Amino acid sequence: MRTALAVRGLEKRYGSVQALKGVDLDVGEGELFGLLGPNGAGKSTLVKIAVGLVRQTKGDAEVAGARAGSRAARGSLGYLAELFRFPGWYSADEVLELCNRVAVLDRGRLLATGTTTSLARDLGEERYALFTRDASHPALAAMVQRGVVGALNVRGDEDGWTRVDMEVIGGMERAAQIVATLVEQGVVVARFEKVPLPLADLIDRIVRRGAETQSNV
């Protein structure tokens, strides 16, 4: 088993206060490990050294074989603080932008970063909902056969209209062209709107694409 975290002789002093004294620890890859102790025992200090937020006074700490705090080590872990606070100088727009950013990793390999919108766009797939009374219209089936849209998912009636979900490659401009074509061919359309791709689906597709790319190298 590979070692996810290795600590040897770790010490940390804050002036006259010794937060850590000679800590030795090994955590194996895939192992679920709980670090327990009373307030002031040094739990947070040990974790902060491991993620590179605090430097030790003595000793060594490695994450996935790389020195704690190094670029390689930081690329192999994720960290969520107990009390998360946004910087006070952030504007509301900056907070929303930060919350909407995603980093996708697979076994320590960074596959993609960006907003959920930009990542979905980079995948080349966007999901839309079409509200119509003509869900069985041959024009819809023809678009699927020609690969213009992805498989249709009929979701049932809403206010007397049938919702049909579809995946469109080419963004909003392409989606608008598709709707115009359907209307020209006699499909009655009440509403057409973009549907956010669920985060779990987005991450799964990015990971699968990364695996396919890796296998072709």
**What is the model's pTM?**
0.45
Task: Kindly state whether residue 84 falls inside one of the protein's structural domains.
Answer: no
Higher pLDDT, 212 or 17: 17
| CATH code of the domain covering residue 18 | 3.40.50.300
Q: In one letter, which amino acid is 195? A: V
Q: Are residues 124 and 207 in contact, defined by beta-carbon separation less than 8 angstroms?
A: no
Q: Which domain holds residue 161?
A: 126-195
| CATH code of the domain covering residue 189 | 3.30.70.260
Residues 6+ apart with CB under 8 A from 107: none
pLDDT tens readout for residues 9-54:
999 999 889 999 999 999 998 888 888 888 888 998 999 999 998 9
| CA–CA distance, 55 with 117 (Å, rounded to integer) | 37
Positions of E strands within the chain:
3-14, 17-28, 58-63, 66-67, 101-106, 109-115, 126-132, 153-158, 161-168, 189-195
